[in-house]
Amino acid sequence: MGKGMEDKNKDKKIEKAEGKFYIAPSLLSADFLRLGQELRATEEAGADMFHVDIMDGHFVPNMTIGPSVVNAIKSVTSLPLDVHLMIEDPDRYLEDFIGAGADFVTVHVETCVHLHRTVSQIKKLGARAGVAINPATPVSSLQSIIYDTDMVLIMSVNPGFGGQTFIPHALEKITQAKRLAEEKNPGALIEVDGGIKPGEIFGEAVRAGADVLVMGSAFYGSGDYASLVRSVRK
Ligand code: DX5
Ligand code: ZN
């Protein structure tokens, strides 16, 4: 990474702000053979953070990468890493992923028996804590944990794969999560993940209240990352 890029990203803060949203390309759809170049091109295109999907073949029917690859990614980028843990028993790996450089660690309510303990541990280890819910899990399941959460992640596909179709009902859940956050923890970010494409879906998700928009296949399949970022920012 060049010095210029590091300086440019230095003040990039992912904080809730009226009228502002953040683009988080999901590396799941990047070309892993050329990962270094993909990271650089994504930064240069003006993305705000990297979304890193961790899958274990148990909670979701797919496997991806572990902490050592996260560590390698961290060593060449100054953008924040948003690590989405789609794994059973995430407590076992919090230290490893945060040690590897995760800035945000998001766990699923469906995988955490003692969710409050898990969230507290993420923060104690120095990362920001996100809590994700699957398409079939209601926003009401966040009612108690919202006070301690830095980010809520509304899944708009069933987790496991990139390139799936956006589930429209997620829009209503974004609105509900936004209301819940406004009422109980106004600083909490709302993130949406799955099937986000530039155009109508992107606009509707932002209008519903999404602060962070994950884009995997639409981003890395676009061919021109910079013009994609420009088009969604309009
Ligand atoms: C799905 C992952 C997503 C995925 C999104 O399980 O959590 O982050 O990479 O990819 P797209 O944008 O292609 O749906
Ligand atoms: Zn994800």
Say which residue, 4 or 205, is predicted with more confidence.
205
Say which residue, 234 or 88, is predicted with more confidence.
88
Ligand 1 atom with the smallest distance to the CA of 196 is 12
Which of 6-20, 72-86, 219-233 comes out lowest in average pLDDT? 6-20
Whole-number Å distance, alpha carbon 52 to ligand 1 midpoint, is 10
Does residue 32 surpass a pLDDT of 60?
yes
**Is residue 175 within 8 Å of residue 204, measured between CB atoms?**
no
User: For all residues of the chain together, what is the average pLDDT?
Assistant: 96
The pLDDT value given to residue 234: 87
Percent of the chain with pLDDT over 70: 95
- 3-state DSSP assignment of residue 21: coil
Burial 103-114 (b: 16+ CB within 10 A, else e): bbbbbbbbbbee
Q: How far apart are CA 234 and CA 127, in angstroms?
A: 31
Does residue 9 surpass a pLDDT of 80?
no
Q: What tens digit of pLDDT does each residue of 90-132 get?
A: 999 999 999 999 999 999 999 999 999 999 999 999 999 999 9
Instruction: Give the number of the ligand closest to the Cα of residue 63.
Output: 1
Q: What tens digit of pLDDT does each residue of 134-190 get?
A: 999 999 999 999 999 999 999 999 999 999 999 999 999 999 999 999 999 999 999
Kindly indicate the confidence band of residue 5, based on its pLDDT and cuts at 50, 70 and 90. Answer: low
Whole-number Å distance, alpha carbon 159 to ligand 1 midpoint, is 7
The pLDDT value given to residue 4: 54
Any idea which residues carry the catalytic annotation?
53, 193
Does residue 6 surpass a pLDDT of 70?
no
Amino acid making up residue 53: D
Distances (CA, A) of 189 to 127, 149, 167, 177: 14, 9, 20, 10
Say what the pTM is: 0.96
The pLDDT value given to residue 3: 52
Does residue 25 surpass a pLDDT of 90?
yes
Q: Whose CA is nearest to atom 12 of ligand 1?
A: 216
Instruction: Give the number of the ligand closest to the Cα of residue 84.
Output: 2
Sign of CA dihedral 203, 83, 41, 19: positive
Ordered alpha helix ranges (H), the chain: 3-10, 35-45, 67-76, 94-99, 115-124, 169-184, 200-208, 217-220, 225-233
Token pair of 90 as six digits: 């995430």
Q: How far apart are CA 151 and CA 68, in angstroms?
A: 24
Ligand 1 atom with the smallest distance to the CA of 164 is 14
3-state secondary structure string across 55-94: EECCCCCCECCCHHHHHHHHHHCCCCEEEEEECCCHHHHH
Percent of the chain with pLDDT over 90: 94
Q: How far apart are CA 213 and CA 229, in angstroms?
A: 12
The pLDDT value given to residue 134: 99
Q: How many CA atoms lie within 13 A of 45 on its CB side?
A: 27
Q: Evaluate: CB of 170 within 6 angstroms of ligand 1.
A: no
